[in-house]
Amino acid sequence: MSATAGAAGGRPPDEPVASTLMMRLRSLRNRLLASPRFQRWAAAFPLTRPVARRHTRELFDLVAGFVYSQTLAACVRLDLFERLAAGGPATSATLAAACDVPADRLEVLLRAAAALRLLERDPGGAWDLGPLGAALRGNPGVVAMIRHHALLYEDLRDPVALLRDGGPTTLGAFWGYAGAEVPAALAGQAVGDYSTLMAVSQQLVAEEILAAYPLRRHRRLLDVGGGHGAFTSAVAAQVPDLDLAMFDLPAVAAQAREHLGQAGLGERIEVYGGDFFKDSLPGGADVITLVRIVHDHDDDAVRRLLRAVYAALPPGGRLLLAEPMAETRRAEPAGDAYFGVYLLAMGSGRPRSRQVLEAMLVEAGFARVRERRTYTPLLTRLLVAER
Ligand SMILES: C[S@@+](CC[C@H](N)C(=O)[O-])C[C@H]1O[C@@H](n2cnc3c(N)ncnc32)[C@H](O)[C@@H]1O
């Protein structure tokens, strides 16, 4: 029933008054906002002008967002931020020669990057890092994701086809386990690229988790889906007396052993290979971590995984579930738009809200599910559940 029909026909008897009122107000607002006459009036009237400008800017950013992203991608691929950080401010001509791009065309990119606060221009005309370009230098994981987005970009070329088809995607091929019948049979070359990408971006996530939850109280930690061991390595550096183990697909586990051995952590971190949907998880840990794991999988698979984690913990043992979540206040575009579409393209999983995850944890048998606040909920939130 449309809101107009609702207004004419009266509200259904079981519909709460507040929600009917909200629907009517929303319908009125939307009719106003869609009217070119109202738009012109709101832009001209001094009291509504700031809101009208903000809306126009928000809408323009949505329309043009892919151009901003590709501007950023070009800067990263041309190593502009690294060049400026290493060599200091440089003229357009110097940068054009270094990047092997005609000067007049590079100038377009430099100006675009300055408008996006990635670069800044000195009064003398030389280019330098802007605040966002400078911040990216401290975030190699984000830079790796920008490069990786070339794959997602291919899958989003026709977003409606992606929605309708659900067929094979570039991203699905990259994340080998996403559509694999037997993920444990994946070979080293099928898991190496995604594991490296995850390892580069793990440092920041590990810092968030370690700052939010004191692991000192535990005896042994098992990181399930531990990749190349980046999270357990970060824990090893901060919590000296904790026994550490990780579990991942056999090919990933083999690579983890190599990386950890090279880092001198081969003795400290025990590595298990297997399929967490088929094989039972090793016992003995009083805390198990699932870091950026659950959102990769569909609901039935997650239920199985949570039950397996529950079975591997002793009474009183804890599960730490850390990942970006849907419906995260002030980070909705990250949780619901970015991860929602990313995981759709990957062909498996979905971002879940805290409430949905909590319900799944309780269903698996866990009690006392609590959220520990992280510094950057956009990057990861953290739920702690007790067996
Ligand atoms: C998105 S990555 C996260 C890696 C790491 N926890 C991090 O945050 O950097 C997901 C990990 O789960 C592992 N994985 C996926 N399916 C698995 C399965 N069925 N059994 C064991 N590990 C699996 C992958 O190999 C990968 O290392």
Q: How many of the other CB atoms lie within 10 Å of CB of 174?
A: 18
DSSP code, position 11:
-
Q: Which of 205, 249, 295, 382 should be mutated for ligand 1, with most atoms under 8 A from CB?
A: 249
| 145 CA distance to ligand 1 middle (Å) | 17
Ligand 1 close to Cβ of residue 295 (< 6 A): no
What is the residue with the minimal CA distance to atom 22 of ligand 1? Answer: 248
The answer as to whether 40 is a domain residue is no
Are 384 and 367 in contact by the 8 Å Cβ rule? The answer is: no
Q: Considering 120, 138, 156, which residue would you say is the last residue of a domain?
A: 138
Same-domain status, 202 and 272:
yes
Ligand 1 close to Cβ of residue 296 (< 6 A): yes
DSSP code, position 269:
E
Instruction: Supply φ then ψ for residue 244, to 5 degrees.
Output: -130, 140
Torsion over CA: 146, 150, 152, 157 (sign)? positive
Q: How many of the other CB atoms lie within 10 Å of CB of 364?
A: 20
Q: Which residues pair with 272 in a beta bridge?
A: 247
In 3D space, the residue among 86, 72, 253 whose CA is nearest the CA of residue 145 turns out to be 72
pLDDT tens, position by position, 182-241: 999 999 999 999 999 999 999 899 999 999 999 999 999 999 999 999 999 999 999 999
The answer as to whether 172 is a domain residue is yes
Which pLDDT does position 110 carry in this prediction? 98
Q: Which atom of ligand 1 is nearest to the CA of 252?
A: 25
Same-domain status, 111 and 154:
no
| 225 CA distance to ligand 1 middle (Å) | 4
Tokens 């070979």 locate to 187
Are 290 and 349 in contact by the 8 Å Cβ rule? The answer is: no
Q: Considering 138, 158, 181, which residue would you say is the last residue of a domain?
A: 138
pLDDT tens, position by position, 81-120: 999 999 999 999 999 999 999 999 999 999 999 999 999 9
Containing structural domain, residue 64: 49-138
Same-domain status, 239 and 346:
yes
Residues of the chain with pLDDT under 70: 1-15
| 211 CA distance to ligand 1 middle (Å) | 23
Q: State the Cα–Cα distance between residues 7 and 79, nearest whole angstrom.
A: 58
Which pLDDT does position 165 carry in this prediction? 87
Same-domain status, 132 and 154:
no
**Per the structure, how many domains does the chain have?**
2
Q: Is 7 helix (H, G, I), strand (E, B) or coil?
A: helix
DSSP code, position 334:
I
What is the residue with the minimal CA distance to atom 4 of ligand 1? Answer: 227
The answer as to whether 164 is a domain residue is yes
Torsion over CA: 251, 256, 259, 260 (sign)? negative
Q: State the Cα–Cα distance between residues 101 and 104, nearest whole angstrom.
A: 9
Ligand 1 close to Cβ of residue 202 (< 6 A): yes
Same-domain status, 134 and 145:
no
Identify residue 279 by its one-letter amino acid code: D
Same-domain status, 222 and 303:
yes
Q: Which atom of ligand 1 is nearest to the CA of 202?
A: 9
In 3D space, the residue among 215, 225, 247, 245 whose CA is nearest the CA of residue 233 turns out to be 245
Are 106 and 122 in contact by the 8 Å Cβ rule? The answer is: no
Which pLDDT does position 167 carry in this prediction? 83
Q: Considering 138, 169, 197, which residue would you say is the last residue of a domain?
A: 138
Give alpha helix (H) positions in the chain.
3-9, 17-33, 36-44, 49-77, 80-87, 92-99, 103-115, 131-137, 140-155, 159-165, 170-174, 188-212, 230-238, 250-262, 299-312, 332, 339-346, 354-363
The pair of structure tokens assigned to 266 is 């081969």
Same-domain status, 162 and 104:
no
Tokens 């409430």 locate to 355
The answer as to whether 16 is a domain residue is no
Q: Which of 232, 248, 275 should be mutated for ligand 1, with most atoms under 8 A from CB?
A: 248
| 179 CA distance to ligand 1 middle (Å) | 13
Are 251 and 194 in contact by the 8 Å Cβ rule? The answer is: no
Are 225 and 265 in contact by the 8 Å Cβ rule? The answer is: no
What is the residue with the minimal CA distance to atom 14 of ligand 1? Answer: 225
Q: Which atom of ligand 1 is nearest to the CA of 198?
A: 9
Q: What predicted TM-score, i.e. pTM, was given to this entire model? A: 0.91
**3-state secondary structure labels for all residues of 99-131:** HCCCHHHHHHHHHHHHHCCCEEECCCCCEEECH
Same-domain status, 78 and 149:
no
The answer as to whether 5 is a domain residue is no
| 296 CA distance to ligand 1 middle (Å) | 9
Identify residue 386 by its one-letter amino acid code: E
| 372 CA distance to ligand 1 middle (Å) | 23
Tokens 């039935």 locate to 300
Ligand 1 close to Cβ of residue 344 (< 6 A): no
Instruction: Supply φ then ψ for residue 310, to 5 degrees.
Output: -60, -45
Rounded to 10 degrees, the C-alpha dihedral 122/125/128/131 comes to 50
HSE-CB for 119 with a 13 A CA cutoff: 32
Q: What is the CATH number of the domain that holds 359?
A: 3.40.50.150
Which pLDDT does position 164 carry in this prediction? 94
Same-domain status, 133 and 153:
no
